[in-house]
Amino acid sequence: MKEFKIQIIEKVTGAYPSIKEVLGVETFENPKNSDFGDIALPCFKFAGILKMPPVKIAENFSLLFTGDKNFEKIVNINGYLNFKFNREEYIRLLCGEFRDGNIFNKLKTIGNNKTIVIDYSHPNIAKNMGIHNLRSTIIGQSIYNIHKFLGYNSIGVNHLGDWGTQFGKLMWALEEWSSFEEVEEKGILFLNDIYVRFHSEAEKDPCLEESARIWFKKLENNDHTAIKWWKLFIKVSMDAYDKIYERLNVKFDYITGESFYIRYLDETIKKLEEKNLTEISEGALVVKFDENENMPPCLLRKSDGATLYATRDISAAMYRLTKFKPYKVIYVTDIAQELHFNQVFKVIEMYDPCSKGKFKHVKFGRLSFSDMQMSTRKGNIVPLNEVLDKARDKAIEIIKERNAVISDKAETADKIGIGAVIFNDLSVSRIKNIEFDWDKTLSFEGETGPHIQYSFVRILNILEKIEHFETNIDYSLITDEYSYDLLRTIEQFENKIIQSCEENEPSVIANYLLDLSKTFNRFYQNNRVVGVENDLQNSRAFLIKILQSVYAKCMDLLGIPIIDKM
RNA sequence: GCACCAUUAGCUCAGUUGGAUAGAGCAACGGAUUUCUAAUCCGUAGGUCAGAGGUUCGAGUCCCCUAUGGUGUACCA
């Protein structure tokens, strides 16, 4: 509670001005043991300045607060000065911050409408969306939501993998084995199969690779048939992706794939050449880096003249700088691409030093599979809609077992499944490698999405039963242990949101939701709201209403669907 | 070879940016439902924070080395 901290700081620095520099609101900690008090001031770092042992300092400080009505008790233990709040006063102040959306309005001003471009999801056209596409998609969407909530101008970009020799492979294969109509009818799974078949045939006959290159060359040269195929691939793929995006509530402001930047490639290379950043090395056009950068050269053109992934990303980065004038550009991808982005960002920085620090690679760990090797070339991926379907089916089973009264069971089950899948992914730090595990993904108890949703159903059910909300609240009635713990957890909302934004780390919010859920369930077990004495019901309902707004916002930021019955 | 990332309870993970006795969930065992939904709650058990050294009042957290695992390392994306 900031007010109390400021009061303490003013009092202490009033008596000991020499420690003004090192004493701020961030100096305070939460006591390890709540018996000690509500906040603690560690006095170790004042020892050098005041030339006293910490225990003595804490003792001297404590004398300053004799008779202060805001603190019930002040004790010094091992150099920590522990303050116990006057709970009623604390709760009154805290509730003031949270009522009428005050805290939300405050958070909304942080971003100051600065533009953040977020590049996420970026699936590869003609490939079925698999569980391996999930991380970038939902981490990116969550980072988008968080920035937007904090008042940034979030711009979501889906940088589709819609260019490259793999389309030559498909074109050759389809001309040989299929037809335009068949692709249109059978959709993305068919394209996926064709791609797999191409690779198994190409193992026997290496000439196929050359045929594919010829077809890709046709595409680059605007050949009518090639373009017709390519547009079909995109249409068929987007039809499939859009269904999944809709299910996961994922949205983009721009869908501009790699192909969009092809028109700028020559210009990009020319710009870099004009700044003398390029050179020919082993027949290729490259940008070399300082030795202390410890990076291999960035290739712009292969020795055969073709451009590369990096060239397209540099083009895209330059385009984004001029088009959006961003405060920051965030790329959400696998950690395996770290070197690639370091190279791209460095090239941009060498071209335009003002861009330094604007570009950020938000990387996440690798997804692995225990019992199979994942490879789109061999076709053994785990399709994302299959994961969501299995999660939904399991939820349907549980709903049936429980005989719950739910109006639309199929829709609710789908939302539970989605909640499970999303939370499973967002609840661990981005950087951790994840081994895909059906049992864990489909687990609905403990620290899971359905648990989060279930607790929220309890919250909603309480509020549903309250007929009338008083605005005049008796704060002395919610000073008990369970209400107080809940309020202390709610209080962390502001810091948690800011932290997750600064670190681009949705898991901070996911773990916070678990804290909220845990403290609420404890409250629920011990404190009845509906039907208790009138003033008590009012006070508790008020507390639950504050909880509801904070809890719902956290779920919204992560993209976990809200359900009112389950 | 070089570089980056990870390593905390049997398993999966937190750990407020250097503070007090390292916390959850799962799995195991024991308990709670005439109650606002038991997808819940309470309790028991489980630890050489990978290992060694350093920095200081104080290290899971910062620095150095080592080990293990993952990833990348010039014409794939």
Whether the per-residue pLDDT at A403 is higher than 90: the answer is no
Residues A33 and A179 in one domain: no
The candidate with the shortest Cα–Cα distance to A156, out of A110, A122, A107, A114, is: A122
Residues A441 and A351 in one domain: no
Q: Which bases of chain B are contacted by protein, using any atom under 7 A from a CB? A: 2-6, 12-17, 19-21, 23-27, 35-42, 57-58, 70-77
- Check whether residue A52 has its CB closer than 7 Å to nucleic acid strand B: no
CA–C1' A406–B44 (A):
38
Interatomic CA distance for residues A162 and A69, integer angstroms: 67
Compute the mean pLDDT over every residue in chain A, rounded to the nearest whole number.
93
CA–C1' A555–B75 (A):
45
Residue type, A226: A
Residues A25 and A129 in one domain: no
Cβ neighbours of residue A256 closer than 8 Å, sequence gap 6 or more: A157, A158, A159, A160, A316
Work out the percent of chain A whose per-residue pLDDT is above 70. 98
Domain annotation covers residue A256: no
Domain annotation covers residue A282: no
Confidence at residue A368, expressed as pLDDT on a 0 to 100 scale: 87
Q: Compute the C-alpha angle A402/A406/A408, nearest 5°.
A: 125
* pLDDT interval class at A375 (50, 70, 90): low
Strand, coil or helix: A124: strand
CA–C1' A454–B40 (A):
9
Confidence at residue A52, expressed as pLDDT on a 0 to 100 scale: 87
The candidate with the shortest Cα–Cα distance to A119, out of A424, A431, A359, A422, is: A359
- Check whether residue A340 has its CB closer than 7 Å to nucleic acid strand B: yes
* pLDDT interval class at A350 (50, 70, 90): very high
- Check whether residue A463 has its CB closer than 7 Å to nucleic acid strand B: no
Confidence at residue A291, expressed as pLDDT on a 0 to 100 scale: 84
Confidence at residue A329, expressed as pLDDT on a 0 to 100 scale: 97
Asked if A294 and A346 count as a contact pair (C-beta separation under 8 A), the reply is: no
Greater confidence, A176 or A403? A176
Whether the per-residue pLDDT at A374 is higher than 60: the answer is no
Domain annotation covers residue A564: no
Chain A 266..285 CB hits on strand B (< 7 A) = 281-284
Residue A383 phi, psi dihedral angles, 5° rounding: -65, 135
- Check whether residue A217 has its CB closer than 7 Å to nucleic acid strand B: no
Chain A 228..267 CB hits on strand B (< 7 A) = 258
Interatomic CA distance for residues A424 and A122, integer angstroms: 21
- Burial readout A84-103 (b: 16 or more C-beta within 10 A, e: otherwise): bbbbebbbebbbebbeeeeb
pLDDT digits (tens, 9 = 90+) for A163-207: 988 899 999 999 999 999 999 999 999 999 999 899 888 888 888
Confidence at residue A308, expressed as pLDDT on a 0 to 100 scale: 92
pLDDT digits (tens, 9 = 90+) for A11-65: 999 999 988 888 888 889 888 777 788 999 999 989 888 888 888 999 999 999 9
- Check whether residue A461 has its CB closer than 7 Å to nucleic acid strand B: yes
Residues A486 and A529 in one domain: yes
Kindly report the CATH number assigned to the domain that includes residue A75: 3.30.1360.70
Least confident of A132-136, A274-278, A381-385: A381-385
- Check whether residue A29 has its CB closer than 7 Å to nucleic acid strand B: yes
Confidence at residue A372, expressed as pLDDT on a 0 to 100 scale: 52
CB-based burial label for A32 (10 Å; 0-12, 13-18, 19+): exposed
| Distance of alpha carbon A436 from the chain centroid | 19
Interatomic CA distance for residues A499 and A506, integer angstroms: 9
The candidate with the shortest Cα–Cα distance to A123, out of A336, A334, A316, is: A334
Residues A407 and A481 in one domain: yes
Residues A392 and A356 in one domain: no
Kindly report the CATH number assigned to the domain that includes residue A514: 1.10.730.10
- Check whether residue A467 has its CB closer than 7 Å to nucleic acid strand B: no
Residues A409 and A451 in one domain: yes
- How does DSSP assign A308-366, residue by residue? -HHHHHHHHHHHHHHHH--SEEEEEEEGGGHHHHHHHHHHHHHH-GGGTTTEEEEEEPP
Asked if A70 and A86 count as a contact pair (C-beta separation under 8 A), the reply is: yes
Asked if A250 and A138 count as a contact pair (C-beta separation under 8 A), the reply is: yes
Domain annotation covers residue A301: no
Query: What is the rounded average pLDDT of the residues A320-339?
Result: 96
Whether the per-residue pLDDT at A373 is higher than 60: the answer is no
Domain annotation covers residue A295: no
Chain A 421..460 CB hits on strand B (< 7 A) = 427-429, 431-434, 440, 443-447, 450-451, 454-455, 457-458
- In this structure, what token pair is assigned to residue A467? 């007929």
Residues A348 and A424 in one domain: no
Work out the percent of chain A whose per-residue pLDDT is above 90. 77
CA–C1' A227–B24 (A):
55
- In this structure, what token pair is assigned to residue A284? 């290729």
CA–C1' A23–B47 (A):
35
pLDDT digits (tens, 9 = 90+) for A407-421: 899 999 999 999 999
Which amino acid residue lies closest to nucleotide B72, measuring CA to C1'?
A336
Which of A31, A64, A85 represents a domain boundary (last residue)? Answer: A85
Range of the domain at A441: 384-558
Residues A388 and A363 in one domain: no
Q: DSSP label at A152? A: -
Residues A348 and A492 in one domain: no
Whether the per-residue pLDDT at A123 is higher than 60: the answer is yes
Chain A 127..156 CB hits on strand B (< 7 A) = none
Kindly report the CATH number assigned to the domain that includes residue A347: 3.40.50.620
Q: Domain total for chain A?
A: 3
Chain A 299..318 CB hits on strand B (< 7 A) = 299, 302-304, 306, 308-309
Which of A341, A369, A397 represents a domain boundary (last residue)? Answer: A369
CB-based burial label for A381 (10 Å; 0-12, 13-18, 19+): buried
Confidence at residue A376, expressed as pLDDT on a 0 to 100 scale: 58
Domain annotation covers residue A332: yes
Interatomic CA distance for residues A523 and A459, integer angstroms: 11
Q: DSSP label at A307? A: B
pLDDT digits (tens, 9 = 90+) for A229-274: 999 999 999 999 999 999 999 999 999 999 999 999 999 999 999 9
CA–C1' A495–B47 (A):
30
Interatomic CA distance for residues A172 and A223, integer angstroms: 13
pLDDT digits (tens, 9 = 90+) for A452-486: 999 999 999 999 999 888 888 999 999 999 999 99
Q: DSSP label at A161? A: B
- Check whether residue A565 has its CB closer than 7 Å to nucleic acid strand B: yes
CA–C1' A506–B71 (A):
23
Whether the per-residue pLDDT at A512 is higher than 60: the answer is yes
* pLDDT interval class at A381 (50, 70, 90): confident
Chain A 484..513 CB hits on strand B (< 7 A) = 495, 499, 502-503, 507-508, 511
Cβ neighbour number for residue A19 with a 10 Å cutoff: 19
> What is the rounded (10 degree) CA torsion for A85, A88, A94, A100?
180
- Check whether residue A27 has its CB closer than 7 Å to nucleic acid strand B: no
ipTM of the complex: 0.96
Chain A 387..426 CB hits on strand B (< 7 A) = 395, 398-399, 402, 404, 416
Q: With helix as H, strand as E and coil as C, how does A378-439 read?
A: CCCCCEHHHHHHHHHHHHHHHHHHHCCCCCCHHHHHHHHHHHHHHHHHHCCCCCCCEEECHH
Residues A137 and A212 in one domain: yes
Interatomic CA distance for residues A417 and A244, integer angstroms: 13
CA–C1' A415–B75 (A):
46
Residues A320 and A452 in one domain: no
CB-based burial label for A495 (10 Å; 0-12, 13-18, 19+): exposed
Whether the per-residue pLDDT at A379 is higher than 70: the answer is no
Domain annotation covers residue A457: yes
Domain annotation covers residue A100: no
